Amino acid sequence: MAESHDPILLFDSGVGGLTVLAELRKLLPNAPVIYAADLAGLPYGDKTEAQIAARVAGLLGRMAERYQPRLACIACNTASTIALGMVREVLEIPIVGTVPAIKPAAAMTQTGVIGLLGTAATVRQTYVDRLEAEFANGKRLLRHAAPGLVEAAEAKLRGKSVDMAVIEAAASALRGMEGGDRIDTVVLACTHFPLLEDELAQAFGPGVRFIDGAAGIARRIAHLTQGQPFPDAQSSRFVVTGEVQSAQALLPWLETLGFSTIEQF
Ligand code: DGL
């Protein structure tokens, strides 16, 4: 049985997992959370499968040792679609992954054409092929790798302005594919992207809905920790790999989520 001070570990390459944390806070406001951003490894999207698997499994192993979490969540589609199985084999705590929301998107679409935005590493995964075959059979799934959106989301949370040209390029790439003019549902298959939902809505125009996995992941974490004590969130911590300095500009945003400092892992 988990002790009340045992944290939940949320892991991402950067700030994307904060979209999961925001949903988790609605369900478990008092959960102590260690949010770990692998800023030294960001972005994952342009790395190879082997690099991502080794990095994520290694880091999560060391983090689990140091923080003794009751549960870990890989709040990153890229890391999950590649390394989830391996991490589950190595760690003895429950591991919650992030799965591109293709199933709910297939239930939502009226036109039968779904867009998917992710990192380059995510969009080429056989994991995504399997989700498409299982849940989007008879629909058309158009995928586009949009690494620029990861950078834009990181910049936005550091108080910088978002380059709309990058957002518009992602929308037009999907729109330009065969059948792309009929897209009515877009899967945000990278945890960074919901941070740009307003900008994406502007770029796609009316009639397009966005779906991501954050709320579902939060529900899964709440389910797996049901009945466990959560006395307060005071001991929550935000940790980064690499230079703490590179994250300082995030502090005003992090304060809204209850973190007052940034620590080095
Ligand atoms: N947040 C990560 C995801 O959900 C990816 C960002 C990156 O490229 O590191 O896929």
CATH of residue 222: 3.40.50.1860
Rounded to 10 deg, the angle between the 77-90 and 49-67 helix axes is 60
Reported as a pLDDT band with limits 50, 70 and 90, residue 231 is confident
Helix spans in the chain (H): 18-27, 49-67, 77-90, 102-108, 120-123, 126-135, 147-157, 164-175, 197-204, 214-224, 251-256
178 and 222 share one domain: no
84 and 51 share one domain: yes
75 and 146 share one domain: no
Is position 258 within any domain? Answer: yes
CA of 58 to the centre of ligand 1 (A): 17
Which listed residue (75, 79, 190, 196) is catalytic? 190
pLDDT at 2 over 70: no
119 and 71 share one domain: no
- Given the CA of residue 150, which atom of ligand 1 is nearest to it? 6
Is position 151 within any domain? Answer: yes
User: According to the model, what pLDDT value does residue 1 have?
Assistant: 60
Q: Which residues contact 206 (CB under 8 A, 6 or more apart)?
A: none
Q: Check if 119 has its Cβ closer than 6 Å to any atom of ligand 1.
A: yes
Is position 3 within any domain? Answer: no
31 and 93 share one domain: yes
109 and 237 share one domain: no
Q: What confidence tens digit (pLDDT) does each residue in 93-118 have?
A: 999 999 999 999 999 999 999 999 99
CB 168 within 8 A of CB 203: yes
What's the domain count of the chain? 2
Shortest CA distance to 146 belongs to which of 199, 83, 109? 199
132 and 199 share one domain: yes
* One-letter amino acid of 247: A
Is position 32 within any domain? Answer: yes
pLDDT at 232 over 90: no
107 and 26 share one domain: no
- What residue has token string 């770029």? 203
Q: Check if 42 has its Cβ closer than 6 Å to any atom of ligand 1.
A: yes
143 and 237 share one domain: no
207 and 121 share one domain: yes
64 and 106 share one domain: no
Q: Which residues contact 149 (CB under 8 A, 6 or more apart)?
A: 117, 166, 167, 170, 190, 192, 193, 196
CB 217 within 8 A of CB 20: yes
132 and 230 share one domain: no
pLDDT at 125 over 80: yes
Is position 1 within any domain? Answer: no
- What is the domain extent for residue 142? 102-212
Q: Check if 77 has its Cβ closer than 6 Å to any atom of ligand 1.
A: yes
76 assigned to active site: yes
Reported as a pLDDT band with limits 50, 70 and 90, residue 235 is confident
**Portion of the chain with pLDDT greater than 70, in percent:** 98
CA of 121 to the centre of ligand 1 (A): 9
Helix, strand, coil in percent for the chain, rounding step 5: 50, 15, 35
